[in-house]
Amino acid sequence: MCEKIQKMLDEKGWILADGATGTNLFNMGLEAGEAPEMWNEWHPDRIATLYQGAVDAGSDLFLTNSFGGNASRLKLHGAEKRARELSRISAEIGREVADKANHDVIVAGSMGPTGDIMEPVGQLSHAVAVEMFEEQARGLMEGGADLLWIETISAPEEFAAASEAIGNVGAFWCGTMSFDTAGRTMMGVTSSGMVEMVAGLPYQPTAFGANCGVGASDLLRTVLGMSAANPNHPIIAKGNAGIPKYVDGHIHYDGTPDLMAQYAVLARNCGASIIGGCCGTMPEHLAAMRNSLETQPVGKQPDLTEICAVLGEFSSISDGTGEPTVSTRVRRRRRT
């Protein structure tokens, strides 16, 4: 267990993570098709503003601007040889922001998927995947990250490769997968399947869970599945701020700060102890989530009907395990 995470959990039982990276950067002027990681060099002030926004809103942990910072993703922008360097810079900026904060803040080095499909279905070999993740991991740790954070992974083989790479570096780590296909990841992993997979990894994480996906309702259903499987690690919940909608040429998420405040408490009651937001989650959402977690007592574990009533309908009737988990459509109690 990472000592910093353990200390925070011992003190209050939960950790507030950060919100969206892409949504916030697009609001700062990032263009579609542009590599966010290049902004670590081109606009370090804007990346510092991104991190500072999460800290000021009350986040105990934020992810670095390095989600697509591996060689495979950067190759699309002719920067594949700069993976280690750009990842290091993202963490250096984060370290500076965290060290001047008025409360303890954890810098988590973000490592997203390679974008390639692994063998035997695809052409990416285990060895090459490990090499790419290790290169990025070393850059993030050199920049001052407290731990590494694998996120939005779909394939168990890629999750395992990233874990092995981090083990080679010897860093603490957390990992999340995206359950965006009727309760499963795109490559078919269920909530209970992830718990089983993680238990078999030679190099164990500090925490694991789910991020992104469809909506907050679906994500909490996944968290309930993980909690029921009795994992040996803290569970992460990092859901989107509502559902994306295309308005006036831009993607907007319809989740209000009030909705995300309710989501945060439900996530804690579902069994998550590291709680944050993903796409669409802005500082105002985080501030509301922090206030809610601080002022609302821990409650009983919600059932699916309650989650659906508060956060909205599930995108599918099944959580991916084969049996329907909700038989009726429940109207939202509050509009977002």
Provide the whole-model pTM.
0.94
pLDDT at 317: 87
Q: Which of 88, 5, 101 is nearest to 57 (CA)?
A: 101
pLDDT at 250: 66
What CATH code is assigned to 3-311?
3.20.20.330
pLDDT at 328: 41
Q: Where are the domains of the chain?
A: 3-311
3-state secondary structure 180-240: CECCECCCCCCHHHHHHHHHCCCCCCCEEEEEECCCHHHHHHHHHHHHHCCCCCCEEEEEC
3-state secondary structure 85-137: HHHHHHHHHHHHHHHCCCCCCEEEEEECCCCCCECCCCCECHHHHHHHHHHHH
To the nearest 10 degrees (0 to 180), the angle between helices 304-311 and 257-270 is: 170
Q: In the numeric block, which tokens belong to residue 242?
A: 């509502």
Cβ proximity of 307 and 222 under 8 Å? no
pLDDT at 1: 78
Q: How many CB atoms are closer than 10 A to CB 297? A: 6
Q: In the numeric block, which tokens belong to residue 120?
A: 């035997």
CA–CA separation, 124 vs 119, rounded Å? Answer: 6
Query: 80 — phi, psi (to 5°)?
Result: -60, -25
Strand, coil or helix: what is 153? strand
Q: Along the 336 residues of the chain, how does pLDDT read in single tens digits?
A: 799 999 999 999 999 999 999 999 999 999 989 999 999 999 999 999 999 999 999 999 999 999 999 999 999 999 999 999 999 999 999 999 999 999 999 999 999 999 999 999 999 999 999 999 999 999 999 999 999 999 999 999 999 999 999 999 999 999 999 999 999 999 999 999 999 999 999 999 999 999 999 889 999 999 999 999 988 899 999 999 987 776 766 666 888 999 999 999 999 999 999 999 999 999 999 999 999 999 999 999 999 999 999 999 998 888 887 666 654 444 333 333
Q: Is 265 exposed, middle or buried (0-12, 13-18, 19+ CB in 10 A)?
A: buried
Q: In the numeric block, which tokens belong to residue 215?
A: 């909506």
Cβ proximity of 147 and 109 under 8 Å? yes
CA–CA separation, 152 vs 157, rounded Å? Answer: 13
